[in-house]
C-alpha cells in the first residue's frame, strides 16, 4: 500500500483513480480473499516510479513488485476509468494513528523492527543537525533526515526542550526518528526496507469526553464557577453565550444556579489535557426561571446556540460590549459627577481599564466615528431602521472604523479611555430605539437567526445525543434534559 500525505488535490485525485481502478479489477476478477496488491502492483509501481521525486508522496510499507500482466486485458475486458471523489479526505481518514513508542507504529506501517529506543531533548543553541549527531547518525544520513524533516517542520524554529525519539535496529544502528510535530501530529522519519529514508506523519491519538459542572451562586458567577472547577476558557465561552440573555452584574441573585457541559480532549499517549474550552451546553436558573442553550453545528458548518425550541441564544445587540466589565453607573436620574446637577444618565457606564477593546454590539454601518464634544472620542453604529448603539470617551478608534464602514457583531471598534467630559477610564454605552436612548439593561432585544427547517431535525439529534451521553455516563445533577 502507499499513502499520500498532504498531497495536493490533483495528486490525490490521480491516486484515487489508480486505486479505484485497481479495486475494480480486484473486485471484478477475484473473490475478496485475494490480496489486492497482487492485481494492482504493476500499475502502482509504474505510478510510484514516475512520481517518486514528488516530495509529498511518501511510501509507507513495502510494495512487492510482482510483475503481473493486466489480467483484464488477457480476459478481453475493457478498462473503465472512474473518477475518484473530488473532495480531499480529512487528515483523520488518511493518516495512521501514532504510537507511544517509535517501534509501535513503524512495525505496522513500515515493517521496521526497532530493538531499542532513546529520548533526546533539544538543548539551548542546538540545531537539528546537532541532535542527530548526538543520536549518532552518520553525516550523510543527517543531511537526508534534515531534508525530510524540513518538508513538514520549520527546522529553524525548533523549541528548546523539544523531544526526539531515536530508534535503533538489531545492529544498534539508528534507523528512525520520531518528532512531536504539533499537538495533533507526530512525524516519523525512518529507513525503509528499500534502504532509503522517508517521512510519515501520524495522528496523535486523542480521547474526548464530556464534562459536566454545576454550582450554586453565592457571590459572583466567577467565584461559583471556580469552586466548581470550571476551566476559565469554558467559563468565558459560557458567559459569551449567556451574556445575550443575562445581565451578570444585576440579574444574579443568591441561590441562582448555573451548569455547563464541556468537552475535554486528552492526548492518550501522554495523558496531557489538550483542550477544555469547547462548551456544548449552558444553563442557568435565575430566581426560579430556567434558561438553557445547546451548541449546534448547522448544515452550512456554522455554530449556533439554541434553546430546546430552536430559538437562538444570540440577540441582535449585546448588552455589554466590553469583556470583564463592572457596571459603575446605570441608566436613569443621577447627580452628574462633574456638573453636580441632577440629570438623566442616558446610557450605562462600564468601569474597565483604559485600552480595553470595545466590541460592536451588533452588525451594522458606522454612522459616526470621531470627536463629539462632551462624549470625547465617540462611535455610533446604525444596526437597522430601529436600532443604533453609541460608545463614548474612547482612547482610540480601531483601524478601518470610519463613517460608512461596515462592522460585524463582536468586532473590535475602539478602546476604552477617558476623553471628553469624563472622570476616569470607562465606557459610556447607549442603545437607541428610533433615535432615542433606552436602558440597555432592561430593553427587550430581538433574537438572532433561529434554526432553519433543515437544521431543526439535526438539532433535535444534538440535544438527544448530549442528553443520552449524560444518562449513559451517570452524570448527576444535570438539569439540561429538563429545561
Ligand atoms: Zn455615561
Per-residue pLDDT at 143 exceeds 60: yes
Q: What is the pLDDT of residue 279?
A: 93
Distance CA(365)–CA(409), nearest Å, equals 11
Q: Is residue 321 part of a domain?
A: no
Q: Is residue 187 assigned to a domain?
A: yes
Cα 417 to ligand 1 centroid, rounded to whole Å = 12
Q: How many residues does the chain have?
A: 483
Smallest CA-to-CA distance from 391 within 289, 318, 282 is with: 318
Return the number of other C-beta atoms located less than 10 Å from residue 14's C-beta.
16
CA of 424 to the centre of ligand 1 (A): 11
Question: Above 50 in pLDDT, residue 321?
Answer: yes
Euclidean distance between CA atoms 79 and 83, whole angstroms: 13
CA-based R_g, the chain, Å: 31
Instruction: Tell me what pLDDT residue 478 has.
Output: 66
| Ligand 1 geometric centre to CA of 68 (Å) | 84
Query: Would you say residue 444 lies in a domain?
Result: no
Ligand 1 centroid from CA 346, angstroms: 7
386 lies in some domain: yes
* Local confidence band at 479 (pLDDT 50, 70, 90 cut-offs): low
Same domain as 336, residue 308: no
pLDDT value of residue 302:
83
Position 375 scores a pLDDT of 96
Model confidence pLDDT, tens digit, residues 8-65: 444 444 444 444 444 333 333 333 333 333 333 444 333 333 433 333 333 333 344 4
pLDDT band at 440 (very low <50, low <70, confident <90, very high): confident
Residues 331 and 356 in one domain: yes
Task: Assess whether 187 and 276 both reside in one domain.
Answer: no
**Domain limit, last residue, from 203, 228, 261:** 203
Residue 35 pLDDT: 36
Note the pLDDT of residue 405. 95
Ligand 1: centre distance to CA 332 (Å): 10
For the chain, what is the mean pLDDT?
A: 80
User: pLDDT per residue over 63-120, tens digit each?
Assistant: 444 444 454 445 544 545 555 445 566 766 788 999 889 999 999 988 999 999 999 9
Among 180, 203, 226, residue at a domain's last position: 203
CA 113 – CA 63 distance, rounded (Å): 17
In angstroms, what is the span from residue 235 Cα to ligand 1's centroid? 28
Amino acid 249: pLDDT = 67
Pick 461 or 11 by higher pLDDT: 461
343 vs 12 pLDDT, higher one: 343
Residue 474 has pLDDT above 80, yes or no: no
pLDDT over 90, % of the chain? 39
The pLDDT assigned to 446 comes to 77
Check whether 331 has a pLDDT greater than 60: yes
Last residue of a domain, one of 183, 203, 223: 203
Determine the number of helices (DSSP H) and then strands (DSSP E) in the chain.
10, 26
Is residue 103 in a domain? Answer: no
Q: What per-residue confidence (pLDDT) applies to 477?
A: 66
Model confidence pLDDT, tens digit, residues 240-267? 888 888 877 667 888 899 999 999 999 8
Query: Rounded mean pLDDT of 158-187?
Result: 92
* Ligand 1 centroid, distance to 345 Cα (angstroms): 6
Query: Is the pLDDT confidence value at 276 over 60?
Result: yes
- Is the domain of 213 the same as that of 199? no
pLDDT for residue 237 is more than 80 = yes
429 Cα: distance to centroid of ligand 1 (angstroms):
7
- Pair (87, 17) in one structural domain: yes
Same domain, yes or no: 193 and 244 = no
Per-position DSSP letters for 383-414, written without gaps between them: -SSSEEEEEEEESEE-TT--TT-EE-TT-EEE
Instruction: Write out pLDDT tens, residues 282-292.
Output: 999 988 888 99
- Exposure b/e, 111-125, CB count within 10 A at least 16 = b: ebebeebeebebeee
| Judgement on whether residues 76 and 128 belong to the same structural domain of the protein | no
Check: CB of residue 116 under 8 Å from CB of residue 165.
no
- Give the per-residue pLDDT at 47: 38
Residue range 457-464: average pLDDT? 92
State in Å: Cα 117 to ligand 1 middle.
66
Q: Which uninterrupted H or E stretch holds 162?
A: none
Which set of grid coordinates corresponds to residue 183? 499537538
pLDDT of res. 253: 87
Distance 375 CA to ligand 1 centre (A): 9
* Cβ(258)–Cβ(238) below 8 Å: yes
The CATH number assigned to the domain holding 368 equals 2.70.70.10
Q: Supply the DSSP symbol for 373.
A: G
> Residue 100: its pLDDT value, please?
86
Q: How far is the CA of 348 from the centre of ligand 1 (A)?
A: 5
Q: How many domains does the chain have?
A: 4
Phi, psi of 167 (to 5 degrees): -110, 140
pLDDT tens for each residue of 379-394: 999 998 889 999 999 9
pLDDT score for 27? 36
As a whole number, mean pLDDT of residues 118-127 equals: 93
Task: Examine residue 472 and state whether it is found in any structural domain, yes or no.
Answer: yes
Residue linked to cell 476604552: 416
Which of 89-98, 214-223, 330-339 ranks highest by mean pLDDT?
214-223
pTM: 0.58
Provide mean pLDDT across the span 463-471.
86
Q: How far does residue 373's CA lie from ligand 1's centre (Å)?
A: 14
Using a CB cutoff of 5 Å, list residues around ligand 1, an ion. Answer: 347, 349, 428
Is the domain of 270 the same as that of 287?
yes
Query: Among residues of the chain, what percentage have pLDDT more than 70?
Result: 76
Three-state SS at 310: coil
367 CA from centroid of ligand 1 (Å): 20
CA 402 to centroid of ligand 1, rounded, Å: 22
- What distance in angstroms lies between residue 223's CA and the mean position of ligand 1's atoms? 28
Ligand 1 midpoint to CA 383 (Å): 21
The domain in which residue 183 lies consists of: 112-203
**Beta partners for 295?**
305
Strand partners, 437: 432
Do residues 356 and 389 share a domain? yes
Amino acid at each position: 500500500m502507499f499513502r499520500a500525505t498532504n498531497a495536493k488535490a490533483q495528486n490525490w485525485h490521480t491516486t484515487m483513480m489508480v486505486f479505484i481502478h485497481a479495486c475494480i479489477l480486484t473486485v471484478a476478477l477475484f473473490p475478496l480473499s485475494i490480496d489486492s496488491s497482487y492485481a494492482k502492483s504493476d500499475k502502482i509501481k509504474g505510478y510510484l516510479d514516475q512520481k517518486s521525486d514528488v516530495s509529498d508522496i511518501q511510501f509507507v510499507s513495502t510494495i512487492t513488485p510482482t510483475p503481473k500482466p493486466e489480467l483484464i486485458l488477457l480476459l478481453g475486458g475493457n478498462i473503465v476509468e472512474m473518477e475518484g471523489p473530488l473532495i480531499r479526505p480529512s487528515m483523520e481518514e488518511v493518516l495512521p494513528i501514532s504510537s507511544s513508542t517509535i517501534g509501535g507504529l513503524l512495525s505496522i506501517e513500515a515493517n521496521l523492527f526497532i530493538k531499542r529506543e532513546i529520548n533526546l531533548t533539544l538543548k539551548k543553541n542546538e540545531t537539528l543537525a546537532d541532535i542527530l549527531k548526538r543520536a549518532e547518525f552518520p553525516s550523510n544520513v543527517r543531511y537526508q533526515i534534515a531534508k525530510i524533516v524540513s518538508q513538514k517542520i520549520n527546522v529553524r524554529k525548533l523549541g528548546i526542550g523539544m523531544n526526539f525519539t531515536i530508534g535503533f535496529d538489531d545492529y544498534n544502528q539508528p534507523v528512525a526518528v520520531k518528532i512531536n510535530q504539533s499537538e495533533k501530529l507526530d512525524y516519523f522519519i525512518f529507513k525503509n526496507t528499500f534502504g532509503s529514508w522517508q517521512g510519515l506523519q501520524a495522528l496523535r491519538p486523542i480521547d474526548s469526553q464530556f464534562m459536566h459542572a454545576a454550582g450554586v451562586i453565592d457571590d459572583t458567577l466567577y467565584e461559583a464557577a471556580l469552586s466548581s472547577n470550571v476551566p476559565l476558557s469554558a467559563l468565558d465561552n459560557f458567559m459569551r453565550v449567556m451574556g445575550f440573555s443575562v445581565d451578570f452584574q444585576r440579574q444574579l441573585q443568591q441561590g441562582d444556579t448555573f451548569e455547563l457541559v464541556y468537552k475535554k480532549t486528552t492526548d492518550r499517549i501522554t495523558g496531557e489535557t489538550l483542550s477544555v474550552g469547547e462548551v456544548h451546553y449552558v444553563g442557568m436558573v435565575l430566581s426560579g426561571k430556567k434558561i438553557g442553550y445547546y451548541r449546534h453545528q448547522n448544515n452550512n458548518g456554522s455554530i449556533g446556540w439554541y434553546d430546546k425550541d430552536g430559538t437562538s441564544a444570540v440577540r441582535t445587540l449585546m448588552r455589554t460590549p466590553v469583556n470583564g466589565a463592572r457596571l459603575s453607573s446605570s441608566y436613569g436620574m443621577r447627580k452628574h459627577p462633574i456638573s453636580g446637577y441632577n440629570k438623566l444618565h442616558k446610557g450605562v457606564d462600564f468601569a474597565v481599564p483604559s485600552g480595553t477593546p470595545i466590541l460592536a454590539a451588533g452588525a451594522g454601518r458606522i454612522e459616526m466615528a470621531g470627536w463629539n464634544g462632551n462624549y470625547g472620542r465617540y462611535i455610533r453604529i446604525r444596526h437597522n431602521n430601529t436600532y443604533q448603539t453609541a460608545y463614548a470617551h474612547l482612547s482610540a478608534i480601531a483601524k478601518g472604523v470610519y463613517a460608512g464602514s461596515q462592522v460585524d457583531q463582536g468586532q473590535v471598534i475602539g478602546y476604552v479611555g477617558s476623553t471628553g467630559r469624563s472622570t476616569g477610564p470607562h465606557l459610556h454605552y447607549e442603545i437607541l430605539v428610533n433615535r432615542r436612548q433606552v436602558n440597555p439593561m432592561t430593553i427587550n432585544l430581538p433574537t438572532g437567526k433561529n434554526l432553519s427547517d433543515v437544521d431543526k431535525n439535526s438539532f433535535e439529534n444534538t440535544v438527544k445525543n448530549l442528553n443520552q451521553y449524560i444518562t449513559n455516563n451517570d452524570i448527576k445533577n444535570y438539569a439540561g434534559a429538563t429545561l
